[in-house]
Every structure is written in structure tokens, then in C-alpha cells.
Structure 1
Amino acid sequence: MFQASPKFMSFEEFVEWYPDRAGRYELYRGAIAEMLPTGDHEEVTAFTTGELFLEVRRLQLPYIIPRTYLVKPPGEDSGYQPDILVLDRGALQDEPRWKKSSTIEHGKSIKLVVEVVSTNWNTDYGNKVTDYERMSIPEYWIVDFKGLGAKRYIGSPKQPTISVYQWMEGEYQVQQFRGKDRVISDTFPELALTAEQIFAAGV
């Protein structure tokens, strides 16, 4: 859930403004949006983050899952804070804004983005799919644990769904997982996690 501000702001202005504010915000085409996640949203996010962290540690992968960050699409006054961001530690040396403002501009620095759906589902399925695809981010999960997305995205009847977008030949291809389906991830090919295990964290 989010509340948007009518004031237009450039990305540079947003980065300067943000440290003085408590709370969590994103910038959508120059409009500030305050993110107001629910408890069950946070439980799903925490569970999924924990499982991914355990996989990173188990396999000793050169990845980090930071707590505070922004993802900036090219040429846009936008800055996103995905619910989970898995970064390639070695690529961060090429990120000009990382040290100063924890901002990622290059898709090659990102291994996986996860958005856990709340009432602003249209942004997760709309702008973010387009922007993450333009950045060539290799993998993007939309965890729709309440089945809130439109039928054109998750089918009919609507039901809890995880949509995994894989970047292939310049565009995203999507595969969906429900119930006892094991979530298939190119970033974490050995991940033994089902859709219902993730959904259950928010019950």
C-alpha cells in the first residue's frame, strides 16, 4: 500500500530529500510514493529473504542482500526500493552512486529482484516489469501471495501466484508457480522452495 505526493521531484532531489525522512519511499516518474506495507506483507518478505540468504551462504555465492538501496532505471526520474534485492558484490565497483547513496543503475549488478504484492499491484506488474526489463535485470519475481493482481496477469479464477520473469534475448519471459509448484530460479537453481511455503508465511 502506498500514498503518493503531488510534488514533482527529480531523482537527484529525491536522493537529497530521502535521508531526512523516516519511512520508506519510492519515486515514480517524479512523484514520491510512501510505502506502507502490512504485517503479512512483511512476513512474506522476511521469510523469502531468509531463504535466499541461506542459499547464498550455503553455496558461498558472491552475492549480498542489502537492507537499504534504490534501483534507478535509465533516463527516468524514478527510484525503486524492491522488497528484496540480490546484488553481485563484484559488480558494485562499477556503480557510480553505490558508495554515496546505495543506488544501483546497472542491471548487471543485480542478480534478482523480488516484489511482494500489496494494493499497488499495478506498479509491480506494470512500470516495474518494463523498467527492470529495460535494465536487463536477469530475474524478477512478483510474489502475489493474496492473488491481488488483475486476471490478465494471474489468470481466472484469481489465486496466489508467483510470477518469475527471466530476461532472455532482450525481453522477459514469464513462468508462474502456485500451490506445491517448486519455484524455478536461474539465479538459485538448487532452491528447494514451493509457492505455498512462501504464501504460508503471510497467513
Structure 2
Amino acid sequence: MNQAQTQSQTESKLYTFDEFIAWYPENSPVRYELYDGVIVEMPKPRGKHSKLTGSLIERLLITIREMGKGDIWTIPRESIVKPYRDKSGYEPDIIILNEETISTETRWEAESVIQNASSVKLIVEVVSNNWQDDYYDKRRDYEVMGIPEYWIIDYAALGGREYLGYPKQPTIFVYELIDGEYVKTTFRENDSIKSPTFPQFNLTAQQIFDLALKTGNAEA
């Protein structure tokens, strides 16, 4: 099913989250997300986007092991985050889950659905052409859910000038939840990433951007 077919299917109906999950094709080769009741086909990560995402997963897993959290913090291949609004649902590029609290997720085993912020240590979105989703919808909903840390990696400088300046520059934003609100820190070029969840993470913004050029077969 292509995006035009998906949009045609949803024109006459707004889906709830539960209807979206029931509709979601099993073993689908493409990803879908739900935005205000509308099912949207998401571009499958390819090329630089896929290399960066796959390589960053490798680096995060190394850091998790170095922190002694290898047995309790995991990065699933697929998951769908259910925000409080009943007509939206997102599949993050990277999500780090806490196995110590995942037992509270009643829909995880059967549907790979995450509903509780306590299950999440970090969410990362690598920006594509639909950059507004990461900067607006997801940032808002992750904040309301109480997700403790959220990264936006805009390696291709696709976002708006409000965020990236002029001329636009590749940028990483780290949002930390403090007193129920996200506090944003901006990283560019040789700035070292400062992460409250991963104090041992030692890459600069440019080193993360360079992961998009890594040779090999990294998969998102």
C-alpha cells in the first residue's frame, strides 16, 4: 500500500489508536504512524538516514554496556508509542526501554505498544523531509507523556530557520524533562553531546553527523 492509497483509505474515517493498531498490517515492509486520526505512511529510512540511525544504535549500545545497564536497558527493533491523545501513535527511530519497568506495559508483548514514560529512558528521532513531525507533534506529545529525554538529530539541516538559524546548520537538540517541561540544549559542529541519561556518551555533534557517511550495511 502506497501513501496515496493510505490517504485515500483514511479520508472518510479518523482512526483511534486502537483502530490503528488493529489495522496495522502484520509484517509490513513500511512503517505507519497516526496523526490526529490520520494514518500516514512513513518513508523507510534509507541511505544516510539509515546509516546514521544504525550506527548510533551501535554507539548507544556500547555506552549502555559501559554503564553496566546492558541487562536492563534495551533498544527494540520496533515499537509504537501511544501518547495521551487517543488519535496519535508514533514509531521512533530509536527508543531505549527500561526492562525493570516494562512489566507495566500491558500491550508490549502482544502489540509492541509503549504507553508509560517510566518504560522509556530516551527517544531519538533522525529528521527526514517531514521534519515538522519531529519538531512539533512528537516533541509536544513526548513532553506531555513525561518522556525524560528526547533527541532531534537534524543532520541534513531540514528543519525551520527558527531552530537551525540562517544559514541553516546541521544541529542536534537534546530535550531534558525538568519539572514537567522540556529544556532544550543545542549542539553543533564540535560541541560534545551532553546527555543526562548517558553522561558517558562522548561523541561530538559532528561525529554523529559523520555516522551518516559510515561505510558498511548499518540498518535502522
Q: Paired residue for 2:42?
A: 35
- TM-score using structure 2 length: 0.88
Q: Paired residue for 2:218?
A: none
Q: Across the two proteins, how many residue pairs are aligned to each other?
A: 202
Task: Give unmatched runs, 5+ long, in structure 1.
Answer: none
Whole-Å separation in 2 of the counterparts to 1:68 and 1:91: 18
Aligned-pair CA distance for 1:19: 3.6
Whole-Å separation in 1 of the counterparts to 2:103 and 2:54: 28
Task: Give unmatched runs, 5+ long, in structure 2.
Answer: 214-220
Greater C-alpha radius of gyration? 2
Aligned pairs for 1:119-130 (under 5 A) are 119-130=129-140
Q: Paired residue for 1:117?
A: 127
Match of 1:11 among 12, 17, 38: 17
Whole-Å separation in 2 of the counterparts to 1:159 and 1:85: 25
Aligned-pair CA distance for 1:100: 1.2
Task: Please tell me whether residue 23 in structure 1 is matched to residue 25 in structure 2.
Answer: no
Aligned-pair CA distance for 1:198: 0.9
SS in 1 for 2:212: coil
Task: Please tell me whether residue 106 in structure 1 is matched to residue 116 in structure 2.
Answer: yes
Aligned-pair CA distance for 1:5: 2.0
Q: For structure 1, which segment, 4-13 or 99-108, has the greater mean C-alpha deviation from structure 2 after superposition?
A: 4-13
Aligned-pair CA distance for 1:59: 1.8
Task: Please tell me whether residue 54 in structure 1 is matched to residue 56 in structure 2.
Answer: no
The alignment yields a C-alpha RMSD, in angstroms, of 1.4
SS in 2 for 1:100: helix
Q: For structure 1, which segment, 14-23 or 187-196, has the greater mean C-alpha deviation from structure 2 after superposition?
A: 14-23
What residue identity is the alignment partner of 1:173? V
Whole-Å separation in 2 of the counterparts to 1:178 and 1:35: 27
Bigger strand share = 1
What residue identity is the alignment partner of 2:168? K
Whole-Å separation in 2 of the counterparts to 1:19 and 1:92: 24
Aligned-pair CA distance for 1:133: 0.2
What residue identity is the alignment partner of 2:186? Q
Which runs of 4 or more aligned residues in structure 1 lie more than 4 Å from their structure 2 counterparts after TM superposition? none
- TM-score using structure 1 length: 0.95
Aligned-pair CA distance for 1:11: 1.2
Of the two structures, which has the highest relative contact order with CA contacts closer than 8 Å and spacing of 6 or more? 2
Q: Paired residue for 2:216?
A: none
Residue deviations 1:78-118, cap 9 Å, x none? 11011000011111111111111011001111100000001
Match of 2:106 among 91, 96, 99: 96
Residue deviations 1:34-74, cap 9 Å, x none? 11133111111011111001111222212110001100001
Whole-Å separation in 2 of the counterparts to 1:123 and 1:60: 34
SS in 1 for 2:84: coil
Aligned-pair CA distance for 1:144: 0.1
Whole-Å separation in 1 of the counterparts to 2:113 and 2:40: 17
Aligned-pair CA distance for 1:161: 0.1
